[in-house]
Homo-oligomer: A and B are copies of this chain.
Amino acid sequence: MTLWGGAFSEPTDDDLRALNDSFRYDRRMAQQDINGSMAYALAMAGAGVLTRDEAETLVGGLTQVAEEFDSGTFAVKPDDEDVHTAVERRLGEIVGDVAGKLHTGRSRNDQVATDFRLWVMDAIDSLTGKLRAVQAALVEQAEQHTETLMAGWTHVQPAQPITVAHWLLSMFWPLERDIDRLRDARRRCAVSPLGSGALAGTPYALDREELAKALGFSGISQNSLDAVSDRDFTVEFLSCVALVGVHLSRLGEDLVLFSNPAFGYVTLADRYSTGSSLMPQKRNADSMELTRGTAGRLIGYWVGLMTTLKGLPTGYNKDLQEDKEAVFAGFDSLSLVLPVAAAVVRTLTIHPDKLRAALVPEMLATDLAEYLVKRGLPFRQAHHVAGRAVRLARERSIPFDQIPLADLQALSPLIAEDVAQVFDYAASAASRAADGGTAPDAVRRQLEQARHALTQ
């Protein structure tokens, strides 16, 4: 039996049931739904609408329903169109008519908003933990490589020597911002809509603040009409999730590329690689390709939800039911990808020799310009001189650090024998020691900041 059939003359068509019924996916909110109902029953007793006994009976029955969900023994009935109906139906079987008092003053509109907010709050906590694991893996690897050098890129071209730890930590901070964003999203999510009824509020003397606190919310919604149709918390959750996806896509792209033998910078553990059904030698970074590819669907979930929300008129509209599958799918995707990403990073073999071999003297052209700046040449001219030196080396097919001194001096009389000191990768990296720079000293300070963040 549905919760609403009194005024209807024929049952819902099966086609519509297939489209409309949400129990197959919203059953994962069973715990939140039951917790919400327990707190509501007690609050309604506080408001004098239920007796203390009735409330306790309801809480007892709900406890049993919760156990059935937990243990997997909950028996679904064909008319269980959603988790709310299923729980109330089962509660009635257990406690009898008093179950019919639970929904007093409540609508599925405020009920589902309450359940879903609680679920998203839990989801944020869960994802935060998984993000922390990826960060911890990055820190762990970085600690081993504060002095290891590699070619830093811009435009996928060798740019300047950097430390491997610096590269690894460049993926730590985006995740830190993600966690910060999720924290803000959680704060805005932790607002209780319970007591909003279908749209107009409750006629009972419910202490909404106390009820909210009991459920773990930090405050209550200010407008019941807004409260039942507000899905900002799902949008914000999915926008955070999508951006995590984009950050992971960078990690994926880097590791996929760095695994190519032309670089050979890293090797993924065998158990995070896969092979080919045709080519016996293949060793693919599938794990990182899937990590890279997940961003697409995560972006798609946000778009789908936003588009569904666009143009809806005032009040709850059934279109809002589309929110759940998108949020669940976003959470599930990220929950699958994050542990793989953490494990890949943690078990990654980094090859300092290959990284070193990719350093080329031209990457020190900036250092040559800086050498000239120290000798008084304005940077813009120094840049030009160094650029001409690069061209000279290329035209003669000699390494940039092997240009005869006389030729360099022909480009600028400021160049002296001590120019040789410029051609030192480690010194170049070590020189960038201001906060946030790639110098080992700066990176060690950065690591401290990172470790501190992990404890937050």
Q: Interface centre among A84, A166, A314, by most B CB within 10 Å?
A: A314
Contact of A279 among B198, B242, B282, B391 (CB under 8 A): B198
Task: Please judge, given known A-B contacts A157-B259, A200-B161, whether A386 and B275 are in contact too, CB under 8 Å.
Answer: no
CA gap between A394 and B280 in the complex, in Å: 13
Contact B263 A223 (CB under 8 A): no
CA gap between A257 and B313 in the complex, in Å: 8
Contacts of A209 in B (CB 8 A): 435
Q: Interface centre among A6, A174, A272, by most B CB within 10 Å?
A: A6
Contact B195 A188 (CB under 8 A): no
User: How far is the CB of A272 from the nearest CB of chain B, in Å?
Assistant: 5
Contact A434 B206 (CB under 8 A): yes
Contact A224 B317 (CB under 8 A): no
CA gap between A103 and B434 in the complex, in Å: 17
Contact B299 A318 (CB under 8 A): no
Stretch at the interface among A65-73, A121-129, A289-297, A413-421: A289-297
Task: Please judge, given known A-B contacts A236-B181, A276-B4, A384-B6, whether A434 and B296 are in contact too, CB under 8 Å.
Answer: no
Contact A274 B12 (CB under 8 A): yes
Task: Please judge, given known A-B contacts A206-B434, A314-B153, whether A198 and B276 are in contact too, CB under 8 Å.
Answer: yes
Stretch at the interface among A24-32, A358-366, A402-410: A358-366
Contact A299 B294 (CB under 8 A): no
CA gap between A211 and B366 in the complex, in Å: 23
CA gap between A449 and B222 in the complex, in Å: 8
Q: Can you sample 28 A-B contacts with CB below 8 Å? A: A3-B383, A7-B280, A8-B270, A8-B283, A9-B391, A10-B270, A10-B271, A13-B340, A19-B337, A107-B279, A108-B277, A154-B284, A166-B224, A167-B314, A173-B230, A198-B278, A200-B438, A201-B433, A222-B449, A239-B239, A260-B262, A278-B366, A293-B322, A296-B322, A297-B326, A298-B304, A302-B302, A303-B303
Contact of A286 among B20, B162, B277 (CB under 8 A): B20
CA gap between A300 and B160 in the complex, in Å: 34
Return the CB mask of A13-51 against B: 1 if under 8 Å, else 0.
Answer: 101101110000000000000000000000000000100
With CB as the reference atom, state the residue of chain B lying closest to A394. B7
A261 at the interface (CB under 8 A from B): yes
Contacts of A273 in B (CB 8 A): 8
Contacts of A59 in B (CB 8 A): none
Q: How many copies does the complex hold?
A: 4
A316 at the interface (CB under 8 A from B): yes
Contacts of A327 in B (CB 8 A): none
Contact B442 A280 (CB under 8 A): no
Contact of A8 among B242, B275, B304, B322 (CB under 8 A): B275
User: How far is the CB of A109 from the nearest CB of chain B, in Å?
Assistant: 7
User: How far is the CB of A117 from the nearest CB of chain B, in Å?
Assistant: 13
Where chain A touches its partner, the secondary structure class is helix
Task: Please judge, given known A-B contacts A161-B200, A226-B174, whether A317 and B296 are in contact too, CB under 8 Å.
Answer: no
> What would 7 more interface pairs be, CB under 8 Å, given A6-B388, A177-B232, A201-B436?
A9-B270, A156-B317, A232-B243, A290-B318, A293-B321, A294-B322, A299-B306
CA gap between A388 and B109 in the complex, in Å: 22
Contact A271 B311 (CB under 8 A): no
A315 at the interface (CB under 8 A from B): yes
User: How far is the CB of A3 from the nearest CB of chain B, in Å?
Assistant: 4
Contact of A366 among B92, B226, B280 (CB under 8 A): B280
Return the CB mask of A165-201 against B: 1 if under 8 Å, else 0.
Answer: 0110111111001001100100010000001111111
Contact A4 B274 (CB under 8 A): yes
CA gap between A8 and B167 in the complex, in Å: 29
A379 at the interface (CB under 8 A from B): yes
A287 at the interface (CB under 8 A from B): yes
CA gap between A316 and B188 in the complex, in Å: 33
